[in-house]
Chain A
Amino acid sequence: MNDVANECISEKLDDYTLVRVRGEVDLSWSQQVRRAILDALGATGKVGVELSQVSYIDSSGIAALVEGFQNARGKGQQFGLIGASKPVMAVLQLARLDKVFPLFPDLDAARAG
């Protein structure tokens, strides 16, 4: 999984915006991830960040997720993390944010939630 190229793609599925993140999220491009999340929240509807292909995330990546969460909450928008990989979960637990973010196992659960 360490060889996955860094990538961040947004998809619109009806009223749901899915931000798919892959690779190692670190300072070198966490601003791009942050921008994609904030852009997704600019539209109406629910937003989910898919993290199953993320093999590493540092505090700047976590900061981007936190900012997205706070932004959504301020606007009463639904925001969740989907399929968080083991490395992502470990860092969320370390930051004690695993109980803060709505976490969904997959896209269907996130859209229903």
Chain B
Amino acid sequence: MNASPLALAGAEERRALGFLADLSESLAVSLDLRETLDMAVTRIAAFMHAEAASLFLLDAASGVLECRICVGPVDINGLKIAIGQGVVGRCVAENATQIVREARSDPRVNANVDAETGFATRSILCAPLATARGVIGALEVINRRDGGLFDEDDAEILRLVAAPAALAISNAQLAYGLVEQQRIKREMELARKIQKSMLPKRRRGAFPLLGVNLPAHEISGDFYDFFDLPDGSLGFVIGDISGKGLDAAFLMVRVAGLLRWVGKRAPAPAAWLAEVNAELCKTLTEGRFVCAAVGIYDRVTRVVTFASAGFPPALLFGAGSFEELLADGPPLGILAEASYGERRIALGDRALYLFSDGATDVRDAQRKTLGSDGLRQIILRHATLAPEPRLRALLGDLKRLHVVDDTTLLLLQEPGGKSAQPLLDLHFPARAGEMRAVRAALRTALDAQELGPELRDRLVLAVDEACTNIIRHAYCGECDQRISLQLVREHDMLTFELRDSAPRVDPARLIARDLGECKPGGLGIPFINALMDEWKLEPAADGRGNVLRMRKRIGTGGHE
């Protein structure tokens, strides 16, 4: 079986080599593989003096062989055989040529085919179509016309002619696969463009809504939208379709359209969600649902009315702290009779962040998810930026992590408000026992600015000294009057503002002793002098109490 062609007898050998060269050439230059293979199998049958010949191809996914070309008295085109079964199945399973000399008594031969077709199979040769990718099928010839039996030489010839056929088929399959892949890629790209074109265009000028959508793959199941309403207010929508991929993307197109269509009539957000939910419950397939939040914002009063259907908690950020707005009802498309709450929020200068769960599902290098706390840290870090650069910075931070799901962010904030949002806004009674908690809150706020522990601790000490001076010298001892602490950052300048309602303190009365003088007490002001770049104590503008402003410039890299 492994004999080289040179082992064949002289004249037969030359005839075989000539045939092989011919066949190889016709297969190599073929433009229509099907037609060429048809002709090749016919020629192989003739050359082998066989009554019938057939070519089986393997469907790798199902492991089933199917007859694709057949010549001879019986048409077995479409006949299917499992790998390992019968002569053809065994040939492919073993990647070895099979010779059957006595078909009627050979256990490899399936007698049913003859019984059904009336054909009398006596002798079979079957060679695998072997390629670098593995066996892709088999070539079979049946019964010598001269009534004789196929021998080892015949087996060797069939093995040789199977090789160029296998190569031609394999190349054609690869080429087809490549074309198919290119086609799918082109179509996905087109789908992505259409999806992207459905997102609202960024508005020129000072506009309070900004959105970004970051698909995990070509296409997204997330969306956001905003539009003008007849009374001059703005409608907005953000949503996330359950599941990923093409079906989620198709559904997204439909749901986004529905939410917009209903929203344009400007119903109250709770009614808006209820109407879309009722429609989706009629048509969504089992197991599909949509998390969405909708709202209407009045730019004149700066009031937003907002409702959420199973959407991740929205974050309202202002004066250094977050408020979480939980969902007002279940996701859309699950319960036809679901009803939704809604809430009115006086937004003022604050920021409302809406984000799909992709934003909190981003992973770090250790595969740990960012979570809601991590997202808050990132928002805090960029809190002093104007809305647009802030959203860009947020997205940049998320992209540096590993985005595993579609991620969408919508930010509602009136631009051009106070440029510097306080990073911390604390009010506490003038009692020494409060200071531990104040220091802890200040550490957290400063850590979000990535100052490094040394500078952070020095700034905490200075603020603590200032507070204890207010308690001891302005209020003349502990009392229930208030101290307020605001931390503001403008570029690289941190400002700590402390307000009290104590009687006016004369700044001239504050005497700083020299450091290095070894005596107890009087260290507070020298500490502040050493730790801050500058400070100023003034009477409050409204005449009640004192204002102490301490400033510190922080260098890039977080160190002094």
Residues of A within 8 A of B (CB): 2, 24, 26-29, 56, 58-60, 62-64, 66-67, 69-70, 87, 90-91, 94-97, 100
Q: CB-nearest residue of chain A relative to B519?
A: A66
Q: Is B454 an interface residue (CB 8 A)?
A: yes
5 contacts between A and B (CB under 8 A): A27-B432, A56-B439, A58-B461, A63-B520, A94-B461
CB within 8 Å for A97 and B518 given contacts A2-B440, A28-B432:
yes
User: A64 — which chain B residues lie within 8 A by C-beta?
Assistant: 520
How far, in angstroms, from A51 to B514 measured CA to CA in the complex? 25
Q: Is B465 an interface residue (CB 8 A)?
A: yes
User: A26 — which chain B residues lie within 8 A by C-beta?
Assistant: 432, 435-436, 439, 464, 468
How far, in angstroms, from A29 to B436 measured CA to CA in the complex? 11
Q: Is B531 an interface residue (CB 8 A)?
A: yes
How far, in angstroms, from A63 to B521 measured CA to CA in the complex? 5
Q: CB-nearest residue of chain B relative to A6?
A: B436
**Contact: B435 with A96, CB < 8 Å?**
no
- Interface-facing stretch out of B261-269, B284-292, B319-327, B522-530: B522-530
Q: Which of A2, A62, A69 contacts B523 (CB 8 A)?
A: A62
User: B531 — which chain A residues lie within 8 A by C-beta?
Assistant: 94
Q: Which 8 A-B pairs have the closest CB atoms?
A: A59-B523, A28-B432, A63-B520, A27-B432, A96-B516, A67-B520, A66-B520, A27-B468
**Contact: B468 with A60, CB < 8 Å?**
yes
Q: How many A-B residue pairs have CB under 8 A?
A: 70
User: B468 — which chain A residues lie within 8 A by C-beta?
Assistant: 26-27, 58-60
Min CB distance, B347 to chain A, in Å? 35
CB within 8 Å for A90 and B458 given contacts A26-B435, A27-B471, A63-B521:
yes
Interface residues of B in 509-548 (CB under 8 A from A): 515-516, 518-521, 523-524, 526-527, 530-531
Min CB distance, B506 to chain A, in Å? 21
**Contact: B530 with A24, CB < 8 Å?**
no
Q: Is B457 an interface residue (CB 8 A)?
A: yes
Q: Which of B431, B454, B464, B518 contacts A58 (CB 8 A)?
A: B464
Q: Is B557 an interface residue (CB 8 A)?
A: no
Interface residues of B in 425-450 (CB under 8 A from A): 431-433, 435-436, 439-440, 443
How far, in angstroms, from A26 to B478 measured CA to CA in the complex? 14
Q: Is B80 an interface residue (CB 8 A)?
A: no
**Contact: B436 with A63, CB < 8 Å?**
no
How far, in angstroms, from A64 to B519 measured CA to CA in the complex? 10
How far, in angstroms, from A59 to B472 measured CA to CA in the complex? 13
Q: Which of A24, A27, A70, A94 contacts B519 (CB 8 A)?
A: A70
**Contact: B435 with A94, CB < 8 Å?**
no
**Contact: B520 with A70, CB < 8 Å?**
yes
